[in-house]
């Protein structure tokens, strides 16, 4: 997979993309990430990329021309499956969305800033608009990192144990069951006996029960509208 990220602040990605799972994916040549500074595509002598909005609203808007030049230049090099725009009014990102995007070969992620981008960018180029939550950040850089990390860890061959990603929260529409490790007893708090039993069938049943209980208690919306009224005891 290749991900091209369009941003006004390329330096923000250096630390995040040089660590942990993303670094492993890159080193194993399973993921290629290219960061593009939108200012490099401005024809203004001061590399200006924003202007005042028509209509007199406060704030600045990213201009269409530098963004369009960057996208068109990339499209001449390869075909893209999706052009994503990180925006708080986009569709909320979830695990099923990540699973689908992970099947793509080439993706562009556009990071907005200021009051957003000229609407014509969204009309002419963007294929999907993504939000990571109902709140506003200073720009799309942090959401782009979130999406990239989410995709990287489910690419085949990235995790040493590929079954690990399959047991993550939300993969099956449920939250994960509690997990424990050594020591088996800590200051009187014991690991559930079933996890020490070695009985795989009982362990699977316990984990499923815990997943449902935890989801019903913490995120009843994942179980459907009717579950929110069920007892959690």
- Tell me: the pLDDT tens digits for 181-191? 999 999 999 99
pLDDT value at 170 more than 80: no
Q: What pLDDT is attached to residue 57?
A: 84
**Structure tokens of 232?**
């959690």
- Percent of all residues in the chain with a pLDDT value above 70, rounded to a whole number: 91
Question: What are the backbone dihedrals phi and psi of residue 64, each rounded to the nearest 5 degrees, phi first?
Answer: -75, -35
HSE value, Cβ hemisphere, 13 Å, CA-based, for 176: 11
Average the pLDDT over 106-121 and give the result: 96
Domain count, the chain: 2
Counting Cβ atoms within 10 Å, is residue 7 exposed (0-12), middle (13-18) or buried (19+)? Answer: buried
- The CATH number assigned to the domain holding 44 equals 3.40.1280.10
State the residue range of the domain holding 94. 2-152
Asked, for residue 189, whether it belongs to a domain, the answer is: yes
Asked, for residue 159, whether it belongs to a domain, the answer is: no
Identify whether residues 78 and 188 lie together within a single domain: no
Identify whether residues 177 and 201 lie together within a single domain: yes
Size of the chain in residues:
233
Q: What pLDDT is attached to residue 5?
A: 98
Q: What pLDDT is attached to residue 229?
A: 43
Asked, for residue 147, whether it belongs to a domain, the answer is: yes
Identify whether residues 21 and 62 lie together within a single domain: yes
Q: What pLDDT is attached to residue 179?
A: 92
Asked, for residue 15, whether it belongs to a domain, the answer is: yes
Identify whether residues 115 and 194 lie together within a single domain: no
């Amino acid at each position: 997979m290749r991900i091209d990220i369009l941003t006004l602040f390329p330096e923000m990605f250096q630390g995040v993309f040089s660590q942990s799972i993303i670094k492993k994916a890159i080193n194993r040549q399973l993921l290629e990430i290219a960061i593009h500074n939108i200012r490099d595509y401005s024809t203004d002598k001061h590399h200006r990329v924003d202007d005042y909005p028509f209509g007199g609203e406060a704030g600045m808007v990213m201009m269409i021309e530098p963004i369009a030049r960057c996208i068109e230049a990339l499209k001449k090099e390869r075909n893209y499956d999706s052009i994503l725009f990180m925006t708080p009014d986009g569709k909320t990102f979830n695990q099923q969305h990540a699973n689908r995007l992970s099947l793509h070969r080439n993706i562009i992620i556009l990071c907005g800033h200021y009051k957003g981008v000229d609407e014509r960018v969204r009309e002419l180029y963007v294929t999907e608009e993504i939000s990571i939550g109902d709140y506003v950040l200073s720009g799309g850089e942090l959401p782009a990192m979130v999406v990239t990390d989410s995709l990287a860890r489910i690419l085949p061959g990235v995790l040493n144990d590929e079954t690990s990603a399959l047991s993550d929260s939300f993969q099956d529409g449920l939250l994960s069951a509690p997990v424990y490790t050594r020591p088996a007893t800590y200051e009187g708090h014991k690991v559930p006996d079933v996890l020490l039993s070695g009985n795989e069938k009982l362990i699977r049943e316990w984990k499923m029960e815990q997943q449902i209980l935890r989801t019903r208690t913490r995120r009843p919306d994942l179980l459907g509208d009717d579950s929110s009224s069920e007892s959690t005891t």
